[in-house]
Amino acid sequence: MSLYAATKKADELMAHVYSHLYGLQTIGLRFFTAYGPWYRPDMALYLFSDAMTQGRPIRVFNHGEMWRDFTYIDDIVEGVVRCVTGRGFDRYEIFNLGNNKSERIMDVIEILASEFGVKPQIELLPMQDGDVPATWANIDRIKAKTGYEPKTPIRAGIPRFVEWYKSYVMRA
């Protein structure tokens, strides 16, 4: 129950109707917590990195019991390319693009802190209205139709993100 979820559902419904009214192929892609270089500054890893490097506490909701399916940008791009170049899709398709594995937010913070060489300050907070404690992308459908298989585990992706963050954000 969130406006974010409602906008996603509305988009998929409009694409479905448009596809059937006008006979056009539509493929919807659900990105699951994409991250990497040039990552959005309003998303978790960026916010956590800013807080850690500036000595501020990291706000962690649901008292730290949050899980997210973090997906490295190279894997997202691979999935998009497979959908753009693929064949044999139904007229209307929706695919999840994710890592097919949830990561505990506290473990992600620990990896980030290790990469930055800092001890993070954590502010544990209750669950936010409209949020969910866990996300996980079931990629069975896109894997069957395109062969999509994410290749970047969180322990490989975070160091790449931190390298970019240090060279771009911290030097700016």
Are 115 and 49 in contact by the 8 Å Cβ rule? The answer is: no
- Tokens representing 170 are 């911290």
Q: Long-range contacts for 165-171 (Cβ within 8 Å, ≥24 apart)?
A: 165/46, 165/49, 165/53, 168/37, 169/49, 169/50, 170/53
Distance in angstroms (rounded) separating the CA atoms of residues 84 and 103: 29
Does the annotation mark 4 as catalytic? yes
41: exposed, middle or buried (Cβ count in 10 Å: 0-12, 13-18, 19+): exposed
Q: Which of 4, 35, 39, 92 is catalytic?
A: 4
Distance in angstroms (rounded) separating the CA atoms of residues 134 and 153: 18
Distance in angstroms (rounded) separating the CA atoms of residues 59 and 20: 44
Give the active site residues: 4
